[in-house]
Amino acid sequence: MKFATRAIHAGQEPDPTTGAINVPIYQTSTYVQEEIGKHKGYEYARTGNPTRTALEACLASLEGANHGLCFGSGLGASMNIMHLLSAGDHVVVGDDVYGGTFRLFDKVLSRFGVTFSWVDARDVKNIEKAIKPETKMIWLETPTNPLLQIIDIKAITDLAKSKKIATVVDNTFASPYLQNPLALGADIVVHSATKYLGGHSDVVGGAILTSDEEMYERLKFHQNAVGSVPGPMDCFLILRGVKTLAVRMEAHQKNAMAIAKFLENKPQIERIIYPGLAAHPQHDLAKKQMNGFGAMVSIVVKGGLENANKFASSTKLFALAESLGGVESLICHPVSMTHGSIPKEVREARGIVDGLVRLSVGIEDTDDLLADVEQALAKVPQLTEAK
């Protein structure tokens, strides 16, 4: 079956008791056993819950994975993956990743004796150079946040396989509709379900997808042993969100392309970053490994923080808020919001400058969004000379 059909049906049979077409919210902590050791597959709700089982099966299907595991947040899912490692292990990480991932690795995991090398993953040679005998994992995010760099998943997983290193890809920005890292050789895919999967800015969640049996058993063991599981209501909301993922992503992308084209070559804009524009340095790679270009658009406003703030506080439909991937358009200022935990020198060296704003283009009417961006841009003074 094709994607849009699986999004609605995979893992979801009518409720056996009532025929309810939607998988019920099994709001229970425990399950009654018929006799000692005889149960229906569920014993305690941290270990398993039928609403969660349905979501896990559905997301696995969408990523072309044999197995899915869901968590209370994207970072909960990421941490569960990191439990595959032990003190002394080394990880090579793409240097443009979600700020919370940086914080988890740099501030928490490093205290447990796991070491990290942060590299510009656009060039596979940088990854190769960073690999040590104790390297156990390569962690990638593509498109990256907030610079929307495209990382060549296939080239890196080929390298990783030759050295028996596991590759993890955070596929949050693309969503499974636009990119399937497992098909490109990745061992594990991680999602913040808070974003496009949920899609309505009303739930926090995370997911891990894999077809590797051994890793799955260990990840599942840790899901129960560590315990950052989602509640059934949250699973229901994500399951409901996912049903419209295909139509939402099409609408998101159409709007994002229109906005990116509109902003290209505007005098107040120093740089526009959208993988769908031919001017994006990795446009061809995006075309090759993705089924579309997504709906995140980053721009550097000329005049630094002052003008970025003028723009971001002048939009009316684009709400100034963290997060992304919901039906409503959002605008954020990575330096002060999502990437505040990265030291200033490190941040600026990577291009996360004060004038950078990131748009999560929603699915409102295209003309209304264009008009909103246009009126906000008109409030930004045009600088006559370069700063």
- Catalytic residue set: 46, 98, 170, 195
Is 74 one of the binding residues for ligand PLP (CB under 6 A)?
Answer: yes
User: For ligand PLP, which residue of 80, 101, 253, 268 counts as binding (CB under 6 A)?
Assistant: 101
Q: 15 or 106: whose CB is closer to ligand PLP?
A: 106
As measured in angstroms, the least distance from the Cβ of 225 to ligand PLP is 20
User: For ligand PLP, which residue of 114, 121, 204, 209 counts as binding (CB under 6 A)?
Assistant: 204
User: For ligand PLP, which residue of 49, 61, 73, 167 counts as binding (CB under 6 A)?
Assistant: 73
Label residue 19 exposed, middle or buried (CB < 10 Å: 0-12, 13-18, 19+). Answer: exposed
Q: Which stretch binds ligand PLP (CB under 6 A): 97-105, 119-127, 280-288, 329-337?
A: 97-105
User: For ligand PLP, which residue of 194, 223, 314, 315 counts as binding (CB under 6 A)?
Assistant: 194
**Separation between Cα atoms, residue 277 and residue 272, nearest integer Å:** 9
Is 315 one of the binding residues for ligand PLP (CB under 6 A)?
Answer: no
Q: Which stretch binds ligand PLP (CB under 6 A): 3-11, 71-79, 215-223, 292-300?
A: 71-79
Q: 324 or 363: whose CB is closer to ligand PLP?
A: 324
| Sheet with 67-71: strands ordered across | 67-71, 206-210, 188-192, 166-170, 135-141, 90-94, 115-119
Q: What phi-psi label fits residue 201: left (phi over 0), alpha (psi between -120 and 50 degrees) or beta?
A: left
Element (H, E) at 299: strand 296-301
User: For ligand PLP, which residue of 24, 64, 100, 185 counts as binding (CB under 6 A)?
Assistant: 100
C-alpha to C-alpha distances, 214 to 12, 29, 62, 153, 174, nearest whole angstrom:
26, 28, 21, 22, 27
Q: Are 290 and 174 in contact (CB under 8 A)?
A: yes
**Separation between Cα atoms, residue 179 and residue 182, nearest integer Å:** 9
Is 149 one of the binding residues for ligand PLP (CB under 6 A)?
Answer: no
C-alpha to C-alpha distances, 334 to 87, 274, 325, 356, nearest whole angstrom:
32, 16, 16, 7
Is 95 one of the binding residues for ligand PLP (CB under 6 A)?
Answer: no
Touching ligand PLP, residues 14-53 (CB under 6 A) = none
Q: Give residues in contact with ligand PLP (CB under 6 A).
A: 73-75, 98, 100-101, 141, 145, 170, 172-173, 192, 194-195, 204, 206
